[in-house]
Amino acid sequence: MDVQKYIASGTLELYVAGLLSEKENEEIHRYADVYPEIRKEIEAIEAVVLQLTKSTSPGMPNTAFDAIRSHTNDDVVPLNTKTPVFSYLGWAASLLFAAGMLWMYLENGKLNTEVKVVEQERQTLKEQLDGIEETLANNEETEWLLNALRSKEIAVVALNGQSVAPTTYAKVYWNKKEQKVYVDAQGLPEPPEGYDYQVWSLTLEPLAPTSIGVLSNFEVNSTRVFELQNDNTSEAFGITLEPEGGSETPNLEQLYTLGTVGP
């Protein structure tokens, strides 16, 4: 490169004026590092410009920089400490955040346990309530039964154990007016699987049985009292063990209890 020719071109004068492109500026910056003549030339041109520009200054008061410094002070402290302070703050913030997350996690676990405990308590209370309701219902049923049996319309028939089951017994409460019988089967054992007790209304002369019903769901009826319709002019009641669902005619071999209606 012809340094003298480059200097003579006037490019460096434009460089000092700030009139070149970024690319040209970078190029000249490199040349100035490589060629001391170019660096010296730039400094000489700048010296001229400095001389000229200084000559037009109205002069600056000596205190002028104090005003500028007051602006720099705002910056100096934060700028020098900004990075550490903010990075510590950042770390502190993330630690706080992590601690917060852990705390939330633990709290959440505690709450979940509490929810389970409350759920269990709720279940227990529900069961207790169900029990109370059941008892109340049973009480109501018992009361209703008692009222039914205490009616003056009721005829009580005691049924005694027959040869197949001598220790068994039953009672029939017959409300002729309402044509209902209440069979108290407390004295009968649970029927075997696949069998039901069947209640018969009997006339004695001639001996003729009429089915008035089956004691269905025997094992789940806690009172063992069964309500049946009876519009017959019954002279006796008998209970036989029949295949599930009952039979057309009684199996007298399996006659458990029998009792005649009193006069």
Give the residues lining the site for other proteins (CB under 8 A): 8-11, 13-19, 22, 25-26, 29-30, 33, 42, 44-61, 64-65, 67-69, 71-73, 75-76, 79-80
Which of 65, 144 has the CB closer to other proteins? 65
When the beta carbons of 73 and 163 are compared against other proteins, the nearer one is 73
Query: Which CB atom, from 74 or from 248, has the smaller least distance to other proteins?
Result: 74
- The distance of closest approach from Cβ of residue 33 to other proteins in the complex, given in angstroms and rounded to an integer, is 7
CB 91, min distance to other proteins, A = 24
C-alpha angle with apex 7: 6 to 9, nearest 5 degrees?
A: 65
34/25 Cα distance (integer angstroms) = 14
The smaller minimum CB distance to other proteins, of residues 44 and 136, is found at 44
**Burial category of 241 from C-beta neighbours within 10 Å (exposed 0-12, middle 13-18, buried 19 and up):** buried
Residues contacting 220, CB < 8 A, separation 6+: none
Query: Which two three-digit tokens encode residue 79?
Result: 């700028």
Q: Nearest distance from residue 90's CB to other proteins, in Å? A: 21
Shortest Cβ 84–other proteins spacing (Å): 14
DSSP one-letter string for 53-79? HHTT-----TTHHHHHHHHHHHHHHHH
Nearest residue (CB) to other proteins, 58 versus 206:
58
Q: How far is the CB of 8 from other proteins (least distance, A)?
A: 7
- Give the other-Cβ count within 10 Å of 183's Cβ: 27
CB of residue 2 to other proteins, shortest distance in Å: 15
191: number of CA atoms within 13 Å, CB side?
Answer: 27
As measured in angstroms, the least distance from the Cβ of 56 to other proteins is: 4
Q: Which residues pair with 74 in a beta bridge?
A: none
Q: How far apart are CA 139 and CA 150, in angstroms?
A: 16
- Which residues make Cβ contacts (< 8 Å) with residue 201, sequence separation at least 6? 209, 210, 211, 212, 230, 232, 234, 236, 237
The C-alpha angle 145, 262, 256, rounded to 5 degrees, equals: 70
Q: Which is nearer to other proteins, 56 or 167 (CB)?
A: 56
Q: Choose between 57 and 147: whose C-beta lies nearer to other proteins.
A: 57
